[in-house]
Structure 1
Amino acid sequence: MKTLLFLAKGFETMEFSVFVDVLGWARHDYGYDVQVETCGFKKEVMSTFNIPVVVDRTIDEINVDEYDALAIPGGFEEFGFYEEAYDEKFLDLIRKFDAKGKIIASICVAALPLGKSGVLKNRKATTYHLKEGYRQKQLAEFLVNVVNEPIVVDKNIITSYCPETASGVAFKLLELLTSKEQMEVVKKAMGFS
């Protein structure tokens, strides 16, 4: 199983690292077949708070058929997140993953490019819920049935409503890639009850 971890400019490092760590523990400590490949528009992606990350591949090198899942951390508008998250190339990549029924796991405002791509139309999802719910209102404008819950799963798509949910999304992704039992083994080993 291989997950494409997509980093748009201005992504949050905490929301990125949970996918690396949860799937890394599963792979390294338990031998689960859950590989992770990072991707961005450029080889070096600048995160929120200006931490640079070098990715494995650029978006132009991606063949959707090589992956079982797409993982997307959210980010800050002030650090340019939507410049790349709303880019048509990325929206098309999202559509391709969804058209093939592959898992898409997003944290916080990473649900917004999913909404903009059209894959969440008439489906349940959530996004950042604080500050008067303005991001949830934005998501609803894409004809999404917004649910104010920490983590929402609708068929193949996982969305969540703030950075606090990051580990929960990563564990849900691991569960969908493996099994509930295998996910629980890793969760317990990492100290999550």
Structure 2
Amino acid sequence: MRDLSGKTIAIVATNGFEQSELEVPHKTLKDAGATVHIISLEAGEIKGWDKTDWGNAVKVDRTVDQVSADDYDAIVLPGGQINPDLLRVETSVLDLIKAFWTQKKVVAAICHAPWLLVETGIVKGRKVTSYPSVKTDVINAGGLWEDSTVVTDQGLITSRNPDDLPAFCDKIAGEILEGRHERRAA
């Protein structure tokens, strides 16, 4: 993993995030030297979903209303079925994601989290992958869906599932180190 010292990354999630899709990027990016904050709707803890049942709780570092895209280099959106479905109706979360995009910062989403990219309009005209059940939603929102492990398009990083986490985390690091991204059409 590349050195991310001096970089700050937001991981936005709520109850029902897929355990590995939050914990692996959190640990990997921290181990690379980044400051990583878990951001959620409320203070305290959020509980993960671990494949077939509730998983472990993780401490929330900040709430959505306490942060700004100005303070971060990238935003990471874990999937799971529950987490992005709950977050995609939260205007404050969608506004935060859009702020990262508008500021040409890295936006990374895995598994079902591209639902959040659909809600924000970010997928339109962009190359994207996702968990297969989200494919039709991405296409209907104007996304150019690909059946690939990880897809990168001008600082937008998407990945299919937890099996792809090492490649997903590596792409996040690479895109952060590239700096701000022009948002030309795919």
TM over 0.5: yes
Deviations along 1:132-162, one digit per CA (max 9) or x if unpaired, are: xx32112212111111111100101000111
Say whether the 8 Å CA contact 1:15–1:74 is kept in structure 2: yes
Match of 2:181 in 1: none
Q: Percent identity?
A: 28
Which secondary structure does the structure 2 equivalent of 1:116 belong to?
helix
Residue 30 (structure 2) aligned to one of 24, 38, 53: 24
Q: Give yes or no for the alignment of 1:87 onto 2:87.
A: no
Provide the C-alpha distance between the structure 2 equivalents of 1:8 and 1:154, rounded to a whole number of angstroms.
26
Say whether the 8 Å CA contact 1:106–1:169 is kept in structure 2: no
Give the drift of 1:176. Answer: 2.1
What residue ranges of structure 2 are gaps of 5+ in the alignment?
A: 1-6, 179-186
Which secondary structure does the structure 1 equivalent of 2:147 belong to?
coil
Which secondary structure does the structure 2 equivalent of 1:74 belong to?
coil
- TM-score normalised by structure 2 residue count: 0.84
Match of 2:48 in 1: 47
Say whether the 8 Å CA contact 2:114–2:134 is kept in structure 1: no
Which secondary structure does the structure 2 equivalent of 1:178 belong to?
helix
Q: What amino acid is aligned across from residue 48 of structure 2 in structure 1?
A: S
Question: Which protein shows a greater Rg?
Answer: 1
Once the two structures are superposed, the pairs formed by residues 43-192 of structure 1 within 5 Å of their partners are 43=43, 44-48=45-49, 49-77=54-82, 81-129=84-132, 134-178=133-177
Provide the C-alpha distance between the structure 2 equivalents of 1:9 and 1:140, rounded to a whole number of angstroms.
27
Structure with greater proportional strand content: 2
Q: After alignment, is 117-126 or 41-50 more displaced?
A: 41-50
Say whether the 8 Å CA contact 1:12–1:47 is kept in structure 2: yes
Structure 1 8/141 Cα, relative in aligned 2: closer, same or farther at 3 Å? farther
Q: What amino acid is aligned across from residue 65 of structure 1 in structure 2?
A: D
Match of 1:189 in 2: none
Give the drift of 1:25. Answer: 2.0
Match of 1:4 in 2: 10
Say whether the 8 Å CA contact 1:9–1:81 is kept in structure 2: no
Q: What amino acid is aligned across from residue 88 of structure 1 in structure 2?
A: T
> Cα RMSD (Å) of the superposition?
1.5
Which secondary structure does the structure 2 equivalent of 1:169 belong to?
helix
Which secondary structure does the structure 2 equivalent of 1:148 belong to?
coil
Say whether the 8 Å CA contact 2:105–2:155 is kept in structure 1: yes
Which secondary structure does the structure 2 equivalent of 1:149 belong to?
coil
Structure with greater proportional helix content: 1
Q: What is the aligned length?
A: 167
